């Protein structure tokens, strides 16, 4: 898996040997790991927010926002403080959650709409990359369905056009999953055009609604209907909210509530965004309450996460959010673009109210559900049991060879202490001592060249090993 330049302990070598055996058996279609983690079968509920920033929840330090249900969930779950999205934008992180692979290995490094149309007027030309998750990739849904699970997807998908919708990737049920990364509007009937380009957008499966109905509420209604219909057997549900992605449209009463609360000195200043976060929180609360009241909570794993850092761009003239104290936001490989809320509650395994500082990445979810290290992901179950345990992994890698309003093409490597960014227009390096400088404000690449060079070498080796798509020079055009 992730090769480390640091020598591995005997225990790690043994665990790697076990891993190889598992991989070998799994390549034969034999699962040596099915028994321990899935007997009796646990249900899985994966709640994913869209563009929710690292400090957008009260339990992660938000000041304006109010998230009592997610804060209560944190007290019943393990809360990760160094959890990373594999990419700073939507589609690649979603692909990494489902497959356990780095987006660079999947050749899916930017979102669906941007993948095939790189700009040609920049210092380097970003690569054309895959705009859909290949059907031959094995998703969590496909693996669990083979084990008899009912599988459902509700909400944002953004992993390809109709031939690559959830139904083609192992989900029995798909409500609302399409090629689009954002709804036209959060208000019923959720249709229209122009806001995100010319095409007419809608949310399939939600036609029979009521005027005044709000998308975040409706998706939860649909998710609970799915659970009620299938809970006599093991089930796996994705409830992938659009919230709080643009358009920034909160319920008016909540917007008014947060406008009242605004005062000088707050980091979060967008009442509409705060209203959307409140709706997200309420709906997570509805799901958790249903699991409690129906008796399912004791045999249901619940994961809450976001797909990339908070958006620091503007909508209707107002900044969406801040990832304070982290630098930058969505699109960037600084911490604000990558670090996300991530909480997991595993009955019989996780310690309620614990905090875990070990760096983890979205790739790890796939391995964790299976209970075995696989592809680019590690099984996090040992961390749920013991929050000061360490994973047998010395570094995480990120690769975004594209432009965004917050970045130029860039790759990064993060060890427990250091983070190196290599900007691909001119190969310039930035090195940060993360524990001492979590805001990435003091670039020490020039004063610590030995660290910078070692990390650059490891980053380059990794890029070659996964065949990472790279930008090209305009001189090479044509």
* Residue 249 is a binding residue for Ca ion (CB under 5 A): no
The answer to whether the Cα torsion of 266, 267, 269, 273 is positive or negative is: negative
Shortest approach of Ca ion to residue 28 CB, angstroms? 37
Shortest approach of Ca ion to residue 111 CB, angstroms? 8
* Residue 323 is a binding residue for Ca ion (CB under 5 A): no
* Residue 281 is a binding residue for Ca ion (CB under 5 A): no
CB atoms within 10 A of CB 275: 25
Q: Which is nearer to Ca ion, 138 or 248 (CB)?
A: 248
Instruction: Pick the stretch among 45-53, 158-166, 246-254, 455-463 that binds Ca ion (CB under 5 A).
Output: 45-53
Residue nearest to Ca ion (CB): 90
Q: Which of 465, 140, 182 is nearest to 320 (CA)?
A: 182
Q: Which is nearer to Ca ion, 283 or 311 (CB)?
A: 311
Contact 309, 341 (CB under 8 A): no
Pairing type for strands 360-361 and 83-84 reads: parallel
Instruction: Pick the stretch among 25-33, 209-217, 299-307, 312-320 that binds Ca ion (CB under 5 A).
Output: 299-307
Q: Which is nearer to Ca ion, 246 or 308 (CB)?
A: 308
Contact 337, 346 (CB under 8 A): no
Rounded Cα gap, residues 237 and 303, in angstroms: 11
Shortest approach of Ca ion to residue 206 CB, angstroms? 20
* Residue 90 is a binding residue for Ca ion (CB under 5 A): yes
* Residue 56 is a binding residue for Ca ion (CB under 5 A): no
Shortest approach of Ca ion to residue 329 CB, angstroms? 11
* Residue 51 is a binding residue for Ca ion (CB under 5 A): yes
Overall size of the chain counted in residues: 478
Shortest approach of Ca ion to residue 245 CB, angstroms? 6
DSSP structure string for 46-93? EEEESS--TT-SGGGT-SS---HHHHHHHHHSEEESSEE-SSSSHHHH
Q: Which is nearer to Ca ion, 98 or 431 (CB)?
A: 98
Residue 454 phi, psi dihedral angles, 5° rounding: -60, -45
Cα–Cα distances in Å, from 136 out to 32, 144, 173, 365, 465?
A: 22, 16, 19, 19, 20
Instruction: Pick the stretch among 265-273, 283-291, 305-313, 333-341 that binds Ca ion (CB under 5 A).
Output: 305-313
Chain residues that interact with Ca ion, rule: CB under 5 A: 50-51, 90, 307-308
């Amino acid at each position: 898996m992730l090769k480390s330049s640091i020598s591995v302990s005997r225990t790690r070598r043994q665990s790697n040997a076990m891993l190889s055996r598992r991989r070998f058996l799994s390549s034969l279609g034999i699962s040596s790991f099915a028994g321990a983690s899935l007997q009796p079968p646990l249900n899985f509920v994966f709640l994913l927010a869209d563009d929710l920033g690292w400090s957008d929840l009260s339990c992660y330090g938000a000041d304006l926002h109010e998230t009592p249900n997610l804060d209560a969930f944190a007290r019943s779950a393990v809360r990760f403080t160094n959890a990373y999205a594999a990419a700073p934008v939507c589609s690649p992180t979603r692909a990494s959650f489902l497959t356990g692979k780095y987006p660079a290995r999947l050749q899916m490094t930017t979102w669906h709409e941007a993948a095939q149309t790189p700009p040609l007027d920049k210092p380097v030309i970003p690569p054309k990359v895959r705009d859909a998750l290949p059907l031959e990739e094995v998703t969590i849904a496909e693996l669990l369905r083979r084990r008899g699970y009912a599988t459902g997807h509700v909400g944002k998908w953004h992993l390809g056009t109709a031939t690559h919708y959830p139904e083609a990737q192992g989900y029995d049920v798909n409500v609302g999953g399409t090629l689009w990364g954002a709804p036209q509007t959060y208000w019923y009937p959720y249709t229209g055009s122009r806001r995100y380009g010319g095409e007419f957008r809608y949310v399939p499966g939600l036609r029979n609604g009521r005027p005044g109905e709000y998308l975040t509420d409706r998706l939860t209604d649909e998710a609970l209907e799915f659970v009620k219909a299938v809970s006599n057997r093991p089930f796996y549900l994705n409830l992938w909210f659009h919230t709080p992605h643009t358009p920034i449209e909160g319920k008016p009463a909540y917007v008014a509530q947060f406008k009242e609360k605004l005062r000088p000195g707050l980091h979060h200043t967008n009442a509409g965004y705060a209203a959307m976060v409140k709706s997200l929180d309420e709906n997570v609360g509805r799901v958790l309450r249903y699991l409690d009241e129906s008796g399912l909570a004791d045999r249901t794993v619940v994961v809450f996460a976001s797909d990339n850092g908070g958006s620091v761009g503007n909508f209707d003239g107002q900044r969406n959010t801040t990832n304070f104290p982290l630098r930058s936001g969505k699109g960037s490989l600084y911490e604000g673009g990558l670090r996300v809320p991530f909480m997991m509650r595993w009955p019989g395994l996780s310690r309620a109210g614990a905090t875990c500082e070990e760096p983890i990445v979205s790739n790890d979810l796939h391995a964790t559900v299976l209970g075995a290290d696989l592809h680019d992901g590690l099984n996090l179950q040992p961390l749920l049991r013991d929050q000061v345990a360490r994973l047998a992994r010395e570094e995480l890698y990120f690769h975004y060879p594209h432009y965004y309003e917050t970045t130029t093409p860039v790759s990064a490597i993060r060890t427990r202490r250091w983070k190196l960014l290599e900007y691909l227009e001119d190969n310039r390096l930035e090195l940060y001592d993360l524990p001492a400088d979590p805001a990435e404000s003091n670039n020490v690449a020039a004063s610590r060249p030995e660290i910078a060079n070692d990390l650059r070498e490891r980053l380059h080796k990794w890029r070659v090993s996964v065949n990472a798509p790279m930008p090209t020079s305009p001189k090479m055009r044509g």
